Structure 1
Amino acid sequence: MKKRYFIWFLAGLLALNCSCSDWLDVNPRTEMKEEDMYQSEKGFKNVMNGIYIQVASQKLYGKNTSYYFPDLLAGYWYKTNNTTENYIMSYTYSNQYVENVVKTIWSSYYTAIAHINDLLENLDKTDVAFTYGNKELLYGEAYGLRAFLHLDVLRLFGPVPAEASDATEAIPYVTELTRDPSKLISVTYGDVKRMILEDLDRAEKYLAGDPFTLGSMFDLNNPGKSGVDYVPDDDWHYYRQTHFNIYAVDATRARFYQWIGDKALAATYAQKVIDVKNADGTSKFALTTNSSYTNSEEGALVMASEHVFAANCSDLQDIIRGVIVTSSSSSTPKLYLENGWIEDVYENANSDNRGKGGRYFQTNGSYAYYLKYYESGTIAATDMVPLIRVAEMYLILIENLELTDAQKYFEVFRQARGMDFTLSISDETARVNQVEKEYRKDFWGEGQMFYYYKRQNKTSWSVPQGMTVPVNGFVVPKPQGQTAFE
């Protein structure tokens, strides 16, 4: 058999694993033979954890595909002339610096997907004996993550949903290991939709025994702590929201159906996620309230109690320094905003938990810096980047249910955020306006607002600043190296 080699870029401590002293047994920038990696259950786990580290790196959700590229396209950050960031905000995809960012995002997505496919191929043929249902968990996480990543590639590089048919060319959907770019050929929108659902169906089957069904988020995030009701058999079963888990399957389905415009199924799967309960009857995923911000166990500013799926980025504090927070007392980060935008976005509502002074924003003269991921002296950072939160599930219900039912969820959501929850969404215009406002408030720094605009095909907006999307601006061009084969 031909030997394959893989280069793993590791940031440091493997925070995704329960044991804080457990390192992936691959040194930074070393090549490791495939047959060495897949000789034990631990080796398979390490490969899966290595994939999560790739996903959480600054090339993807640790920076580029969360608070950076899509949030620039959504107009969240101040425009500074003659910068890469300004060219991104102007949708100048032909600029060489923007092209480099796009190429990095594209190649990082498909590199992670290639490693997933290699893991699945080796799971199929291994004779390693697995314990505690871990082979099934590995299968489920791999299939689910493959679907999740392809959906995000589709949302970024694929067509505007309102303008797409099943025959429209979309993106490559890669299900086997390949290093040949000529095999990364885009398939149709209909084929991508079908394969995403097939992978999610596979993930659901294999994740039926997910330990997350047995323990609460508190149980699984606090090994050895008093008050924990459920203790897994294997340390690898902790921190399930930083692994693609059984509930992430339905949350991804809800996002998928929302994307393609199937309101009924989007609401069905969003409802399933919201309704999940722990053994004691409490919600598995609880909306963050004002008291949560003083409780580091509830995830503070990143709203970890809401995380259905999140990326754990162990070097996040280093990544954001100089990007969204200052690197020194006299410096200005690349991404910042005008003070007045805070009042515009949060509608001058001092009661809004997300807009309260000093919580998410640090002012500096006429500008402000964003603190969602920053570890301050008063608020601990979790170094987690949300990928799907239960808040999105609420907004899917609010957007898609009949108005009377939507109003009930709107009131629950607004009350959790400290807002006037008696506000009515009595007609479609009010509903659309309020959903857009809540997306804008809730997902600053998470990359979701751009996808809202693209899904709605909304080509201009004025908050927090005036933005106009040019023709084809919603469809990020595939790198030139890719289009040469298509």
Structure 2
Amino acid sequence: MKQYLYKITFVFLASIMAISCSDFLDVVPKDKILENQAYSSESGIQNAHNGLYLQLADNNLYGKQLTMDAVEILGQQYNINSSHVSSKIATYAYTESVPKITFTAIWEKAFNTVLSCNKFLENIDKFSGVISTEKTNELKGEAIGIRAMLHFDMLRLYGPIYKVSPSNPSIPYYDNFTTGNSPLLPANEVITKILADLDASLVLLKNDPVLTSGKYNASTAFDANPYYSANRGQRMNYLAVKCLKARVLLYAGDKSSASITAREVIDFTKSTAFFPWTSFSEATNATNPDRTFSSENFFSISDYTLYTKQMDLFDSNLDIIHIYAPLLNRINAVFESNDNDYRSLPSWKVPVTGGKTQKTFFKYADVDDKTKLFRLQIPMFKLSEMYLIAAETATVPADGITFLNTLRFNRGLNNLAATASVATEVAKEYKKEFIGEGQLFFYYKRTNTAAIANGAATVGNITMGTNQYVVPLPDSEINFQ
């Protein structure tokens, strides 16, 4: 990683603004000029902060590889057969060229963005006083939350199977700006650092307008400045950090704390009207279907190239070696051949063009009304996940069934029998709920699932273990340890 660390200050700040040359450049380093320019005004600070979200939407992060592409292939979501361009990823052949390039790019972009977060945090403290303490706290809370999220996903991808080997070496943790490499830490130490960051983020975000005005409406907080008080659903807000904390605690095996945290989020949504369940009519609307259930999403990434990616990955006119689509019997099995589940029919259809007989993916297809607030959004943290965590961690099975039935009712499904297995039903819901969002592979790894359905075969499973679940660290990292 060292080969690109030295460039981060200049690259990050240069992406914020273009600065004209002057004789002063002969005296003061250019990166310092850029810092002074960027952080000397409120608009400059906002631009630097917004740059973090632009990086999150990069193809090598949540704009593609960590949501709808590489990690979904690892979870066997698509029929990636031996002739497909991504077949080596689907067979966990991590030493082959395509997987090595793919997972190196993910790693480097993730830690590049971590360093951008740390540079932002360093500079907003250095240039204190430009904006109010309240505004500063909100921006810092978001940056620390983003830093924690990126470290967690790198741990989930490149770290050991935590359930089996929590003390094994995993990844470095960067909680301050540095141009040197940090050592690989045991996975459980990384979890400790992630949780510390999340707790710090929650303290800074305790006055988040999302708690009093929801995610769309500008409030009177922060001088009614819309940058701080509106569109909180596109920011790493207080509730998103809470959701991430529940996810991390569950991954670490702390079911009791995960349950408490998830239920806190659930209870908040019950006490307000800010995050209602998406209705059947909204999800299945003929011209403007809300296939991502946007009203339930606490944080979504804004991706202005989303519909290009929909066409590049899922369009029915793509040839069979490029399209990401499941075998028909596999996707029917996921939804138990039940189109009453309105995660199914709006997002999965046999197309009328392209000559395909299997269902193809429409979740991220555009809608007719270009003013819809849910356009161009990739879900990151959702109400449904909190119900699944609450169900999985319930100490009384009946309580787990109740949480599952609430989710199922709001997806058009009948109640489960009181005797149903909570663990089995939670697994089914992860398969249905998070397609194109990058969570199923991590569910399998967290639970150390021994075998998963082979996406490239009509029947049969793939045996899973360390060689499949643990992506090797990139050579660029190993060589500088």
TM-score by length of 2: 0.87
Corresponding position of 1:419: 413
Corresponding position of 1:168: 168
SS of equivalent residue, structure 1 residue 72: helix
Q: CA deviation at 1:448?
A: 0.3
Matched, 1:475 2:450: no
Pairing partner for 1:340 from 304, 325, 329: 329
Q: Measure the CA separation in 2 of the matches of 1:213 and 1:98.
A: 41
Q: CA deviation at 1:443?
A: 0.6
8 Å contact kept, 2:210–2:232: yes
Corresponding position of 1:15: none
Q: CA deviation at 1:148?
A: 1.3
Pairing partner for 2:213 from 212, 215, 223: 215
Superposition pairs for residues 329-478 of structure 1, below 5 Å? Answer: 333-356=322-345, 358-363=346-351, 364-377=355-368, 382-401=375-394, 402-421=396-415, 423-424=416-417, 426=419, 430-462=421-453, 466-478=461-473
Name the Cα RMSD after superposition. 2.9
2:150 maps to amino acid? L
Q: CA deviation at 1:457?
A: 0.5
Distance change in 2, residues 1:298/1:79 (3 Å) = closer
Q: Measure the CA separation in 1 of the matches of 2:117 and 2:390.
A: 32
Q: CA deviation at 1:315?
A: 1.4
SS of equivalent residue, structure 2 residue 176: coil
Q: Measure the CA separation in 2 of the matches of 1:119 and 1:229.
A: 26
Q: CA deviation at 1:470?
A: 4.9
Q: Measure the CA separation in 1 of the matches of 2:385 and 2:144.
A: 22
Distance change in 2, residues 1:164/1:298 (3 Å) = farther
8 Å contact kept, 1:345–1:463: no
Q: Measure the CA separation in 1 of the matches of 2:44 and 2:11.
A: 14
Q: Measure the CA separation in 2 of the matches of 1:115 and 1:264.
A: 34
Matched, 1:316 2:306: yes
2:310 maps to amino acid? I
8 Å contact kept, 1:219–1:230: no
Q: Measure the CA separation in 1 of the matches of 2:88 and 2:319.
A: 25
Q: Measure the CA separation in 2 of the matches of 1:131 and 1:404.
A: 48
Distance change in 2, residues 1:330/1:200 (3 Å) = closer
Q: C-alpha offsets along residues 228-250 of structure 1, whole Å, 9 cap, x if unaligned? A: 99997011021112111111121
Corresponding position of 2:23: none
How many residue pairs match? The answer is 453
Q: C-alpha offsets along residues 332-366 of structure 1, whole Å, 9 cap, x if unaligned? A: 7531122233321100112111112x543343532
Q: CA deviation at 1:283?
A: 4.1
Corresponding position of 1:147: 148
Matched, 1:125 2:129: no
TM-score by length of 1: 0.86
SS of equivalent residue, structure 1 residue 385: strand
Q: Could you tell me the percent identity over the aligned residues?
A: 27
1:360 maps to amino acid? W
Q: Measure the CA separation in 2 of the matches of 1:444 and 1:139.
A: 31
Q: Measure the CA separation in 1 of the matches of 2:115 and 2:288.
A: 34
Q: Measure the CA separation in 2 of the matches of 1:150 and 1:385.
A: 20
Q: CA deviation at 1:463?
A: 6.9
Q: CA deviation at 1:9?
A: 9.3
2:438 maps to amino acid? G
SS of equivalent residue, structure 2 residue 379: strand
Please say which of residues 125-134 and 185-194 is displaced more in the overlay. 125-134
2:189 maps to amino acid? D
Q: CA deviation at 1:294?
A: 5.1
Q: Measure the CA separation in 2 of the matches of 1:83 and 1:321.
A: 17
Superposition pairs for residues 255-274 of structure 1, below 5 Å? Answer: 255-274=247-266
